Amino acid sequence: MPFSGLSLGKHLYHFDIDGKFFTEFDYTEIEQASINVDLTLDKQERMLVFDFVIKGSINVICDRCLDNFDFIIDKQERLIVKFGEEFGEEADDIIIIPESENQIDISSYLYEYIILMLPIKKTHPEDENGNTMCNPDIIKKLNELSKPEPDSRWDSLKGLITEN
């Protein structure tokens, strides 16, 4: 994103992100997405402030039933870019770029923000009654398989337990 020709003050941008965006990054599991990003760039004398509003959905695989579902995302993020002598990072949301730079690639930051919105365990949401929206056939099978069968090998050892 070029910023050298911009006047001081706020500048508004809008991006629509789909599955193609994620193919540019290695090791991504995201193939389908519908995300809107509203970006406000506040260009100041010695820094740039990027305010991201990220809303939309990402099609993910449920870790419980293995069906796909759309996971809703909605978050705001801020990235502060300061000018200095060389590239650096002061904090997670503050970076330094050389004063000679006239543009910045924000795609990796957008990717990171979106990926970090996804939970570690992705499961279907619950309905208004608190019931899972997972595939009912899979949930039934999981419940059947989770009932332990008694193991008769341990029955003879139960008589060895004595109370003191």
SS (H, E, C) the chain: CECCCCCCEEEEEEEEECHHHHCCCCCCCCCEEEEEEEEEEEECCCEEEEEEEEEEEEEEECCCCCCEEEEEEEEEEEEEEEEECCCEEEECCEEEEECCCCECCCHHHHHHHHHHHCCCCCCCCECCCCCECCCHHHHHHHHHHHCCCCCHHHHHHHHHCCCC
What are the residue ranges spanned by the domains of the chain?
A: 9-125
Output the pTM of the full model. 0.79
> pLDDT tens digits, the chain, 164 residues: what are they?
767 778 899 999 999 999 999 988 887 888 899 999 999 999 998 899 999 999 999 999 999 899 999 999 999 999 999 988 888 888 888 999 988 888 889 999 999 999 999 999 999 988 888 888 888 888 888 888 877 777 777 777 776 766 65
